[in-house]
Amino acid sequence: MPASYSARSRAIEPFHVMALLARANELQAAGHDVIHLEIGEPDFSTAEPIVRAGQAALAAGHTRYTAARGLPALREALAGFYARRYGVDIDPARILITPGGSGALLLAAALLVDPGKHWLLADPGYPCNRHFLRLVEGAAQLVPVGAESRYQLNPELVARHWDRDSVGALLASPANPTGTVLSREELAGLSAALRARGGHLVVDEIYHGLTYGLEAPSVLEVDDEAFVLNSFSKYFGMTGWRLGWLVAPHKAVPELEKLAQNLYISAPTIAQHAALACFEEETLAILEARRAEFARRRDYLLPALRELGFGIAVEPEGAFYLYADIAAFGGDSYALCQHLLETEHVAITPGLDFGRHQAGRHVRFAYTQSLPRLEQAVERIARGLRSWRPDAV
């Protein structure tokens, strides 16, 4: 990279999985049957009622900018959704509609992080979180977490790692890549730990709705001053529509609106009109059926991978990922990912994309393929492990 390019650009790492994805696409183009378990995108198309609403919006000429905070009707619909699902009363004025969950993270980081300051983040965690902080000249203080804390921050870890440059913590529940969920009591404890230190609490709830055997509580049930990031991409299945939202305290909204006006003007208009259909009974029935299908996939893949020797110490309760220890097989995770792709045409994600703590001995599986495809993948992985020679890499 030329030295004339910015230091922030040089500091932001690419996704390691993108090189594997490029190779997977090459193999696919050459006629090989590749099973994709590497990308965190639901395999279902956007639900038909949402598509119809988007088509109707386009036909009606809804192609102009909206207000920076988003369509009032969509913010009101989201407030109603919070009341029904979580029992919390959220003023629609506190909700900003954003271009994807990434837009919500960008607003929160730009508002809350000065140059040289940082948030505490669990390691492993979603890589873009730390990169967004670098983009606003802040930093992520990565806190190593493991099975003993269910891969989540807790008050003890906050106390141990907090320093004079800490200004907040970013949590994720359900988490990517581990799928663990924070309970209401855990969220309350973390809220108290942050409040005692004058820090901001930011919670990524992007995988809410995709939980199995329990409902994930929102941090807003225990902390009305928390910042919540969410998205229409995962549970609502609108990945390519690029739509998310941010819930913020009243006092933060004017500053966030100003940032939104300057950073992206407004979220995509047609996507906002389409999202109004997300909360209709017909749509929610489709989405709940899809959640049940994800649960069946998890319940198949989790024991199947454990049977092969992958270490999955904590059962994931949400999202659609399994984060697995490969210590039983030796070698490093990137090399194993390459081996499985080249020999068996199964694409998975190396732990290197999710942080630094034991990253070389973990991989992530996304169960975003049908059950028959997952069964094929397990057969291929078993065969690939038999031919795996880590010392030969």
What angle do the packed helices 281-308 and 48-59 form, to 10 degrees?
Answer: 130
Considering the domain architecture, whether residues 18 and 139 belong to the same structural domain is answered as no
CB atoms within 10 A of CB 215: 12
pLDDT at 61: 98
Alpha-carbon gap, residue 151 to 147, rounded angstroms? 6
* Residue partners of 339: CB distance under 8 A and separation at least 6: 384, 387, 388, 393
The answer to whether residues 303 and 232 belong to one domain is no
pLDDT at residue 18, rounded to an integer: 84
Rg (CA), the chain: 21
- 66/172 same-domain check: yes
Whether 274 and 288 map to the same domain: the answer is no
Same domain, 210 and 114: yes
pTM score of the predicted model: 0.95
Q: How far, in Å, CA of 115 to CA of 234, rounded?
A: 32
Q: How far apart are CA 9 and CA 1, in angstroms?
A: 9
Sign of dihedral through CA atoms 92, 285, 47, 203?
A: positive
pLDDT in tens, 343-382: 999 999 999 999 999 999 999 999 999 999 999 999 999 9
Q: Which two tokens stand for residue 22?
A: 């490029």
Establish how many alpha carbons lie within 13 A of residue 302's alpha carbon, considering only the half-sphere containing its beta carbon.
Answer: 18
Domain co-membership, 175 together with 288: no
Do 344 and 253 lie in a common domain? no
CB 206 within 8 A of CB 233: yes
Query: CA–CA distance from 157 to each of 131, 179, 350, 362 (Å)?
Result: 22, 19, 26, 22
Q: Is residue 2 one of the residues assigned to a domain?
A: no
Same domain, 115 and 41: no
Name the one residue in this structure whose structure tokens are 């837009």.
103
CA 195 to chain centre: 25
- Residue that finishes a domain, picked among 226, 254, 280: 280
Q: Do residues 211 and 181 make contact, with C-beta atoms less than 8 angstroms apart?
A: yes
Residue 391 lies in a domain: no
Write out the two tokens for 187.
Answer: 């969220």
Asked if residue 372 has a cis previous peptide bond (ω within 30° of 0), the answer is no
164 and 253 both lie in a single domain: yes
Residue 261 forms part of a structural domain: yes
Structurally, the chain folds into a number of domains equal to 2
Averaged pLDDT, groups of 10, the chain, 393 residues long: 84 84 94 94 95 98 98 98 97 98 97 97 95 94 97 98 98 98 98 98 98 97 98 97 98 98 97 98 98 98 98 97 97 96 97 94 97 98 96 66
pLDDT score for 16: 82
Which token pair is 18? Answer: 């993108």
Instruction: Identify the CATH number of the domain in which residue 369 sits.
Output: 3.90.1150.10
Give the CATH number of the domain where residue 189 resides. 3.40.640.10
Asked if 210 and 179 sit in the same domain, the reply is yes
Any alpha helices (H) in 146-280, and if so which ranges?
Answer: 155-161, 184-196, 253-263, 269-275
Contact 178, 151 (CB under 8 A): yes
Structure tokens at 385: 């492990």
* CA–CA gap between residue 39 and residue 48 (Å, rounded): 23
Token code pair at residue 217: 């509580």
Predicted local confidence at residue 50, as pLDDT: 98
CA distance linking residue 71 with residue 386, whole number of Å = 55
C-alpha pair distances (Å), 56 with each of 154, 287, 347? 46, 21, 38
> Of 280, 312, 341, which closes a domain?
280
What is the residue range of 24's domain? 7-45+283-386
Domain boundary among 280, 302, 326: 280
Alpha carbon distance 276, 260 (integer Å): 21
For residue 392, being part of any structural domain is answered with no
Q: Does residue 293 share a domain with residue 263?
A: no
**Half-sphere exposure (Cβ direction) of 179: Cα atoms closer than 13 Å:** 27
- Reply yes or no: is the peptide bond before residue 124 cis, omega within 30 of 0: yes
* Predicted pLDDT of residue 393: 55
| Residues 52 and 120 reside in one and the same domain | yes
